[in-house]
A and B are shown apart, each in its own frame.
Chain A
Amino acid sequence: MDPATELARRHRLRWWEALPWVAALACFFAFPNYLAFGTQVLVTILFALSLDLVLGYAGIVTLGHAAFFGAGAYTVGMMAMHWGWNEPLSGLLAAALVAGAIGLASGLVLLRTHGLALLMLTLCTMALLEQAANMGAEWTGGFDGMPGLSFGKILGLFGFDVLYYKSQYLYALAVLLASFIVVRTLVYSSFGQSLTGVRENLLRMHAVGAPVRVRQVIAYTISAALAGVAGALFAQANGYVNLAVLGLERSAGVMIVLILGGYGRLYGAFVGALAYMLLEHVLAKAYPTAWQLGLGVTLVVVALFARDGVLGMVDALRRRWVGQMRGAGK
């Protein structure tokens, strides 16, 4: 296949793209006792997907992405607690708006810098929000957060069940699917192409006259809004919000998830979140310290040898395999 046709066909749906969704539905029926865990995985996938847009496609290295996750979680939490506004879908929308607004405002000023300054600024923005949430105890519950939030029925039909996460799981899956369609459309659009251009060669994009900063700010804002939706989902599904939603560990965690899966390739978020959380679920409870050690060593190895994550390795293996087949055919 020549490169031009390949480029033109890139965005077409392939048969295997239905697999994750079928698998997610199958899990719903196969593992009714693990739906709470499944919901956390779905939320993490969405969060990692939002990071993929800025980190994987726009090439913006940020350590403060949890700021938007937290903003979304606190938005629905505070609305439910203070105004009694507990309708879930409008809550998601409000979270997206608030997180997106924060993303837009911070992106406009932050993205003028790059490198270490940008890293520091994203870190400081997140720390600032975390401290603000800690300080405004009247509104945010301070250090203890907001436990025991209750939310209304989804579409007025399906209530959240605290013990069995049935409706939470399907709700999170639906929101993830909708968000995924948005992200997929976006990255295969000409906008997404120019983002990739910015990541690959900033100077050249400037040279061809592309509005680099505008594109970056737009991507940052959309990504922030999606992260806000993920945070809101987290708050609604679990019924609580605490300071941990804004911490450095959550930011670092989601970055690790995305990079382990492979960034800049849409499905990296899925593979990374599932692999990371399964391992964490099994190992972290039994051997927390060994888990941390293993995670650290894995990251070091990934940084040194496997920079494109699991999906990158799959790609490399496939290329080698296809190459061998062709070689055998000749």
Chain B
Amino acid sequence: MDLNSLISILLGGMAAGMVLFVVSVGLSVTMGLMGFVNLAHGSFAMLGGYAIVLSMKHWGLPFPAALLFGFVAVAAISVVFERLLYAPLYRARELDQVLLTIGLNFALIAAVTLGVGPETQTVQLPGWLSGQTDLGFMSYRTYSLALIVAGTVLMLALLFGFERTRIGARIRAAVDNRRMAQSMGVDVGRLFTLTFALGSGLAAMGGGLGAEILGLDPQYPFRYLVYFLIVVAVGGLGRISGVFFAAMLIGVLDFVLKIYFPKGGTLFIYALTLILLLARPQGLFGKKGL
């Protein structure tokens, strides 16, 4: 194998990993904050994907504006869900949370099927994002490169917000020890609503950004649920850098395995996750047990 094909495999895997990161990062933080088992996170990504694709198709929004629209719309919807449905179950048993969010998945999948239709949606990329870009030594798909750049910028921005701002410090404190943070005067409930909205909005953007790679149809939430959860579990709860590295790892691994073992490559990902979680239940980069 020559160097160029190695690089192109790496780039392809990283682009997929960026999508996984953008979708999963919010899940990691909200699960870390409240310990809420949110299996409906993939549905928010799907809703966002639809909002983005449809607003481009029907209203003629340019791609970046559509991404912003998807972010805002889904963040707003998620706050309503959070206040009405999630909040009553914060102290409930894990089973009730699982049930609620599985139900939410079913309902949202059906709602999208009824409202839009069961067919796969395709995203119409603008001219400046399609085609190939010359990197000097090789040329590669512009969109994949753009995804890698955008994902890295987003990761750095989130990391800065998380590590260097006051609100980020509060979130970290609440993830590490919710009770202690609460008794120090941090309003964890409001913090949670805020991060929930942010995380769902990011998932929405991930749904739109990844529509090209992962596809977009009503079955999206259940198809990728295990992937998003694996990224969070491997990366550790409430760790942005951890989720980032985990997403890169899974993205590249999945890409490589799909090329060399097209029939059952994902087998290895499940097996690795299983072994990893048994050895380190807190994930590769996490401090706190799941």
**Which A residues lie at the B interface, using CB under 8 A?**
55, 61, 63, 109-110, 112-113, 115-117, 119-121, 123-125, 127-128, 131-132, 134-135, 137, 248-249, 252, 255-256, 259, 289-290, 292-293, 295-300, 302-304, 307
- Kindly list chain A residues whose C-beta atoms are within 8 Å of the C-beta of B233: 116-117, 120
Tell whether, in the assembled complex, residue B267 and residue A132 are in contact, meaning their CB atoms are under 8 Å apart: yes
- Kindly list chain A residues whose C-beta atoms are within 8 Å of the C-beta of B108: 296
A260's nearest neighbour on chain B, judged by CB, is B99
- Kindly list chain B residues whose C-beta atoms are within 8 Å of the C-beta of A128: 267, 270-271, 274
Give bound CA distance, A110 to B92, whole Å: 23
- Kindly list chain B residues whose C-beta atoms are within 8 Å of the C-beta of A259: 95, 99
**Which B residues lie at the A interface, using CB under 8 A?**
31, 35, 37, 85, 88-89, 92, 94-100, 102-111, 113-114, 222, 225-226, 229-230, 233, 237, 263-264, 266-267, 270-271, 273-274, 277-278, 281, 289-290
Give bound CA distance, A285 to B225, whole Å: 26
- Kindly list chain A residues whose C-beta atoms are within 8 Å of the C-beta of B270: 124, 127-128, 131
Evaluate whether A135 and B88 lie within 8 angstroms (CB atoms) in the complex, with A292-B110, A293-B110 already known: no
The 10 closest A-B pairs by CB, nearest first: A299-B103, A296-B107, A296-B106, A135-B264, A293-B110, A303-B100, A117-B290, A292-B110, A116-B290, A131-B267
- Kindly list chain B residues whose C-beta atoms are within 8 Å of the C-beta of A127: 226, 266, 270
A259's nearest neighbour on chain B, judged by CB, is B99
Give bound CA distance, A125 to B94, whole Å: 20
Evaluate whether A304 and B100 lie within 8 angstroms (CB atoms) in the complex, with A113-B290, A120-B290, A128-B274 already known: yes
| Contacting residue for B35 out of A109, A115, A256, CB 8 A | A115
Give bound CA distance, A195 to B35, whole Å: 25
Give bound CA distance, A61 to B226, whole Å: 16
B272's nearest neighbour on chain A, judged by CB, is A124
**Apart from the given pairs A121-B274, A123-B226, 12 other A-B contacts in the complex at a CB distance below 8 Å:** A112-B278, A116-B37, A117-B277, A128-B274, A255-B99, A289-B114, A292-B110, A293-B106, A295-B103, A299-B100, A299-B103, A299-B104
Evaluate whether A293 and B290 lie within 8 angstroms (CB atoms) in the complex, with A123-B229, A131-B266, A300-B85 already known: no
Give bound CA distance, A303 to B107, whole Å: 14
Tell whether, in the assembled complex, residue A292 and residue B113 are in contact, meaning their CB atoms are under 8 Å apart: yes
Tell whether, in the assembled complex, residue B110 and residue A290 are in contact, meaning their CB atoms are under 8 Å apart: yes
